[in-house]
Amino acid sequence: MNRGLLAKALRESWPGTLLFGAGLALVEAILAFVLPRFQDQISILWSQVPFIQYLFQALLGADVGGRLGTEVLTCIAWLHPAVLALVWGHATVHCTRVPAGEVDRGTVDVLLGMPLSRWQIYRTEAVLWLASGIAILLMGAAGNILGSLAVAGVLRPDPRRLAGVIANLFGLYFAVGGLAWLVSALSDRRGWAMGVVFAFVLGSFLLNYLAHFWSLADHLSFLSVLHYYRPLPIFRDGAWPVRDIAVLFASGTTLWTAGGLIFARRNLSTL
Amino acid sequence: MEVIVTESLTRRYGRRIGIKEMSLSVPEGSLFGFLGPNGAGKTTTIRVLLGFLRPTRGRASLFGLDCWRDSRRIKAEVGYLPGDLRLYSWMSGAEALRLFGSIRRRDLVREGRELAESFDLDLGVKVRNMSRGMRQKLGLILAMAHRPRLLMLDEPTASLDPLMQEQLRLHLRALARAGHTIFFSSHTLSEVEQLCDRVAILREGRLVADATLEEMRRYSRREVTIRWKSGTEAAQDPPPFLELQERDGENWTCLLAGPATDLVRWASSQPIEDLSIGRPDLEVLFRRYYQQGRDPS
């Protein structure tokens, strides 16, 4: 790791990280504050309209039975599309900075002109990526806790269970980021790289959703990254999904390493 | 000692040739001009030498180290100015010096300030607010501030005014005197002629010449004007080493190929009133090198 390079990467990425973190904190605070207040109305809707049940179950990735408990509402705050979009958005934006972003803005010749190995550049950027990911998720958790302070104590999430969900969400962030690193290493255009990652996460989301209605999608659902992100069992039973988290981290590590190997070996210069 | 050595270096972009079979050596402490028209392969060569691009075939080494494998170690000793320079828009000149110094683990601020003073650059201005010329000056300062053993400049005078071009030449000459090697890429003969002591010429990815300027001058032809004594009969045909360009009564305009001694010997036996020999015309030689399918010899 090179300190100067880390300072440069931090200087360029902190506004984005702050923006995504603040956005996540705000969304979490609003959801944690609002959802418990409308528990009765949502429960009525839940019991009267079966389609709503399907929608919720598809989003939650689990069969919740006929009951809409507190833990389900708490869970929605961590599965809401706005939350996923912010987490995935940050991973995609951050992990396509190098090399696709540098080639795209024409600064890669200056960067590669420095006495740094490509692995050194890659590792330094990755350290900042992981630190930024942890930072935005902690900001989200802080928002959630702040928002839930305004509701009755029984409706607040258990800190240990919340930590489990954050760990699972970080695994999701890591896997999507790993893919973004790989696509970025293969690309000279940041927009193209971001588009590919966006298509993948959108496909994952749809596959996970359709799996509850369509048997073919159900067979393929293991390919969706959301298949390994399940906050409901954590909030409901308190058990950490160690296997799912391990799959996400293994996938992310494999993709990140593949990206590093390509970045270290490919021809790179300003277009 | 040779600082840059390439052997049969080839770099292809798919079916297109970037450089082909290039064998080159640049001695330490030289001011080496790398000339060629646009698209001849100058930038590709530099990118291969700096380890941005992997050679398709052949070998390239700097300071005896392999350009691809030992790229990081090599770049610690190299200052590089890209042809199409784009710097990070958020930084000022002073921030750039601190940042680049931190990456290179050296203090560049003092040397950078001195260079900025001689290039008349305000280091407080952000890159995004700089003109092209200012950015070029900052790029040069960042390339030179760590006093590299080898300075690779890809068309460095682009966007510099004539005064700054002269200032740059002074700096480069001083660096070369101190033992630093300058690799200066350009498509303009005149600036290479003013600065460099050795020149390589590239055409369509191939090295077509590699010689000192003195040798180049020897290859090039010189304009000779002869005025015959009035009333005498001029020679019917010029000797083989003179190519007659124009015959105007008693005046001849010719091109001389080869050394002047043959001409002097021949002229001494002729009824010549006046004779002048011009400076070697490198421009003609270079134009011939640039033109496709012509052998300048």
* DSSP, res B54: -
Å from B290 to nearest chain A CA? 25
Say if residue A99 is preceded by a cis peptide, omega within 30 of 0. yes
Q: Is the residue at B290 inside a domain?
A: no
State the pLDDT confidence band at B292, using cuts at 50, 70 and 90: low
Rg (CA), chain A: 20
* DSSP, res B234: P
Contact list, B60 vs chain A (CB under 8 Å):
none
3 state SS of B128: helix
Q: B72 and A120: CB-CB below 8 Å?
A: yes
Domain of residue B68, CATH code: 3.40.50.300
Q: What pLDDT is attached to residue B133?
A: 96
What is this structure's pTM? 0.89
**Within 13 Å of residue A222, how many CA atoms lie on the same side as its CB?**
3
Contact list, B104 vs chain A (CB under 8 Å):
4, 114-115
Residue B239 clears pLDDT 70, i.e. is over it = yes
Q: Which residues pair with B186 in a beta bridge?
A: B35
Structure tokens at A98: 């190098």
| A196 to A181, A182, A184, A216: CA distances (angstroms) | 11, 11, 10, 24
Domain count, chain A: 1
Neighbour-count burial for B192-201, b at 16+ CB within 10 Å, e otherwise? bbebbebbbb
Q: Is the residue at A115 inside a domain?
A: no
Taking only the tens of pLDDT, chain A with its 271 residues reads 899 999 999 999 999 999 999 999 999 999 999 988 888 888 887 778 877 777 777 777 677 766 677 788 888 899 999 999 999 999 999 999 999 999 999 999 999 999 999 999 999 999 999 999 999 999 999 999 999 998 877 778 889 999 999 999 999 999 999 999 999 999 999 999 999 999 999 999 999 888 888 899 989 999 999 999 989 889 888 888 999 999 999 999 999 999 999 999 999 988 7
Contact list, A106 vs chain B (CB under 8 Å):
84, 86
* DSSP, res B219: H
Task: Indicate whether B176 and B90 sit together in one domain.
Answer: yes
| Domain's final residue, options B214, B230, B259 | B214
Task: Count CB pairs under 8 A between chains A and B.
Answer: 73
- Residues of B in CB contact (< 8 Å) with A are 47, 50-54, 71-73, 75-76, 78, 80, 82, 84-88, 90-91, 99-105
Q: Is the residue at A117 inside a domain?
A: no
Q: Mutate one of A13, A104, A269, A271 to test the B interface: name it (highest B CB count within 10 A).
A: A269
Residue B241's domain comprises 221-280
Angle at A217 between CA A211 and CA A221, to 5 degrees: 70
Q: What pLDDT is attached to residue B124?
A: 97
State the pLDDT confidence band at B193, using cuts at 50, 70 and 90: confident
Contact list, A124 vs chain B (CB under 8 Å):
none
Place of tokens 């001389």: B256
Angle at B22 between CA B146 and CA B54, to 5 degrees: 60
Q: What pLDDT is attached to residue B297?
A: 46
Residue B294 clears pLDDT 50, i.e. is over it = no
Q: Is the residue at B20 inside a domain?
A: yes
Task: Indicate whether B205 and B226 sit together in one domain.
Answer: no
Residue A187's domain comprises 15-107+133-265
- Nearest CB partner across the interface for A267, out of B52, B80, B100: B52
- The answer to whether residues B221 and B296 touch, using CB atoms and an 8 Å cutoff, is no
Task: Indicate whether B206 and B227 sit together in one domain.
Answer: no
3 state SS of B13: strand
Q: What pLDDT is attached to residue A66?
A: 65
Q: Is the residue at A142 inside a domain?
A: yes
Q: Is the residue at B65 inside a domain?
A: yes
SS (H, E, C) chain A: CCHHHHHHHHHHHHHHHHHHHHHHHHHHHHHHHHHHHHHHHHHHHHHHCHHHHHHHHHHHCCCCCCCCCHHHHHHHCCCCHHHHHHHHHHHHHHHCHHHHHHHHCCCHHHHHCCCCCHHHHHHHHHHHHHHHHHHHHHHHHHHHHHHHCCCCHHHCCCHHHHHHHHHHHHHHHHHHHHHHHHHHHHCCCHHHHHHHHHHHHHHHHHHHHHCCCCHHHHHHHHHCHHHHCCHHHHHHHCCCCHHHHHHHHHHHHHHHHHHHHHHHHCCCCCC
Q: Is the residue at B10 inside a domain?
A: yes
State which residue of chain B sits closest to A8, comparing Cα positions: B99
Q: B85 and A110: CB-CB below 8 Å?
A: yes
Residue A209 CA to residue A202 CA, distance in Å, equals 11
ipTM tops 0.85? yes
Q: What's the count of helices (H) and strands (E) in chain B, helices before strands?
A: 10, 14
Domain count, chain B: 2
Q: A8 and B53: CB-CB below 8 Å?
A: no
Q: Is the residue at A8 inside a domain?
A: no
- Nearest CB partner across the interface for A7, out of B50, B73, B99: B99
Contact list, A271 vs chain B (CB under 8 Å):
none
Q: Is the residue at B297 inside a domain?
A: no
Which of A228, A226, A232, A230 is CA-nearest to residue A73? Answer: A232
A73-130 confidence digits (pLDDT tens):
888 899 999 999 999 999 999 999 999 999 999 999 999 999 999 999 999 999 999 9
Task: Indicate whether B210 and B225 sit together in one domain.
Answer: no
Calculate mean pLDDT across residues B122-133. Answer: 97
State the pLDDT confidence band at B234, using cuts at 50, 70 and 90: low
Å from A90 to nearest chain B CA? 21
Residue B296 clears pLDDT 80, i.e. is over it = no
Task: Indicate whether B197 and B235 sit together in one domain.
Answer: no
Residue B53 clears pLDDT 90, i.e. is over it = yes
Sequence-distant (≥ 6) Cβ neighbours of residue A229 within 8 angstroms = A61, A168, A169, A171, A172, A244, A248
Task: Indicate whether B192 and B260 sit together in one domain.
Answer: no
Q: Is the residue at B291 inside a domain?
A: no
Q: A269 and B75: CB-CB below 8 Å?
A: no
CA A197 to chain centre: 12
* DSSP, res B292: T
- Nearest CB partner across the interface for A115, out of B47, B72, B87: B72
Helix H or strand E encompassing B64: none
Contact list, B105 vs chain A (CB under 8 Å):
4
3 state SS of B1: coil
Å from B72 to nearest chain A CA? 5
- Residues of A in CB contact (< 8 Å) with B are 2-5, 7-8, 11-12, 105-107, 109-110, 112-117, 120, 265, 267-270
State which residue of chain B sits closest to A117, comparing Cα positions: B72
State which residue of chain A sits closest to B105, comparing Cα positions: A4
Q: Is the residue at A157 inside a domain?
A: yes
Å from B91 to nearest chain A CA? 10
- Nearest CB partner across the interface for A270, out of B84, B88, B99: B84
Residue B112 CA to residue A222 CA, distance in Å, equals 56
Contact list, A14 vs chain B (CB under 8 Å):
none
Å from A102 to nearest chain B CA? 10
Contact list, B103 vs chain A (CB under 8 Å):
2, 4-5, 8, 114-116
Sequence-distant (≥ 6) Cβ neighbours of residue B179 within 8 angstroms = B28, B29
Q: A8 and B71: CB-CB below 8 Å?
A: no
Residue A240 CA to residue A245 CA, distance in Å, equals 9
B79-116 confidence digits (pLDDT tens):
999 999 999 999 999 999 999 999 999 999 999 999 99
Angle at A117 between CA B8 and CA B144, to 5 degrees: 80
Q: A7 and B71: CB-CB below 8 Å?
A: no
Q: B88 and A4: CB-CB below 8 Å?
A: no
Q: What pLDDT is attached to residue A48?
A: 80
Contact list, A110 vs chain B (CB under 8 Å):
82, 85-88
| Domain's final residue, options B214, B246, B261 | B214
Task: Indicate whether B59 and B86 sit together in one domain.
Answer: yes
Task: Indicate whether B114 and B247 sit together in one domain.
Answer: no
- Amino acid identity, position A33: F
Q: A106 and B84: CB-CB below 8 Å?
A: yes
Angle at B182 between CA B181 and CA B184, to 5 degrees: 155
- Nearest CB partner across the interface for A105, out of B53, B86, B104: B86
Place of tokens 């935005």: A136
